[in-house]
Amino acid sequence: MVFQFTRDLSSELLDMDEVFKASILPWWQEIQTYLELIRLDHTWRTLPAVVFSIYRSTGLNREFCISMANIFKILYLSVFIHELIKDDNEGQEYNQDMQFSILIGDYMFGRILALLIEAEADMLLPIFADMICEINEGMVNRYKLGGSQEKFVESTRASLYKNAFLTAANCAGKNVEEQEFYRQAGYKLGMAIEFFKEEVLREEALSCLEASEKLLNPGQGGRIRTLMEPIYEEMRSLLSAGSKLAAV
């Protein structure tokens, strides 16, 4: 589904689409297949709006917030492409497609680092390097070592949200303790968003959502409540309604 809070940011997301296209313009035609495959993906539809909102809520300027949301969008696309790669098929045509998927996914990882420098956010490079490592380890654990789905979601989906919150706090000059609160809040919100799409996990999603909101709200100013509250309110309403239906 498409959340209302993403629709409310339609102007910002349209501007982000232009930045996104410019960011990967040399490969625009080549990635159309992947863009069609990812079009209805839950994380793809939700992540950019959440990243923009948390960055904007810390008082950072609109252009920078769009740039950072675009970077996380490209990062998720690269993760999605790498997840499409399987090694249980044979044939020259398949091998060529697999090689291209690996190359384009790796190109996007590299492009992300360049975009951080262009945005004058190179102080975030160590955080992004750790995040990419965590995501890759999560894919290896899931697809090669038979790791659990929950651990996979933690490392490849929730990791994006927790680091979006962490980097936003870092860019806004929050102290180390505050950055940790943001990181934990992002992790919990990410798990809530990802659990939301699974009916049997709605109760757990609501618990994660409440934990995230509690971490983010104490001591925070009106700006963060104004910009983040629509996300929490909509999800709380949807999850609470689901819980009531389940109870009946």
**The pLDDT of residue 167 is above 80:** yes
- pLDDT score, position 103: 79
Is residue 2 within 8 A of residue 234, CB to CB? The reply is no
Write out the H or E segment, with its range, that includes residue 218. Answer: none
Confidence of residue 221 (pLDDT cuts 50, 70, 90): low
Question: Mean pLDDT of all residues in the chain?
Answer: 88
- Give the pLDDT mean for 88-109: 65
What integer is the mean pLDDT of 218-245? 74
Q: Which amino acid is at 223?
A: R
The residues spanned by each domain of the chain are 10-247
Q: Are 123 and 166 in contact (CB under 8 A)?
A: no
Tokens matching residue 31: 């990635």
> Stretch 16-40: mean pLDDT, rounded?
93
Predicted pLDDT at 54: 96
Q: Is the sign of the CA dihedral 126, 101, 195, 7 positive or negative?
A: positive
pLDDT band, very low/low/confident/very high, at 241 (cuts 50, 70, 90): confident
> Where does the pLDDT of residue 242 fall: very low under 50, low under 70, confident under 90, or very high at 90 and above?
low
Q: How confident is the model at residue 85 (pLDDT cuts 50, 70, 90)?
A: confident
Degrees to nearest 5, angle at CA 5 with 74 and 22: 25
What is the pLDDT, as a whole number, of residue 86? Answer: 60
126 versus 99: the higher-pLDDT residue is: 126
Q: What percent of the chain has pLDDT over 70?
A: 88
Residues 157-185 have a mean pLDDT of 96
Instruction: Report the alpha-carbon distance of residue 242 to residue 80 in Å, rounded.
Output: 28
Query: For the chain, first and last CA: distance in Å?
Result: 24
Q: What percent of the chain has pLDDT over 90?
A: 66
CB 124 within 8 A of CB 170: yes
> 31 to each of 20, 66, 80, 99, 145, how far by Cα in Å?
12, 21, 12, 14, 29
pLDDT exceeds 80 at position 236: yes
Q: What pLDDT is attached to residue 155?
A: 92
Q: Is 60 exceeded by the pLDDT of residue 177? A: yes
Task: Specify the residue for token string 């609501």.
Answer: 206
Q: Are 189 and 208 in contact (CB under 8 A)?
A: yes
- Please state which CATH class domain 10-247 belongs to: mainly alpha
Is there a contact between 56 and 65 (Cβ–Cβ < 8 Å)?
yes
Mean pLDDT calculated for residue range 120-128? 96
Residue by residue, what is the 3-state secondary structure of 108-125? Answer: HHHHHHHHHHHCCCHHHH
pLDDT tens sequence across 33-79? 999 999 999 999 999 999 999 999 999 999 999 999 999 999 999 99
Token digits for 73?
Answer: 């969008």
Residue 48 pLDDT: 98
Residue 39 · residue 217 · CB < 8 Å: no
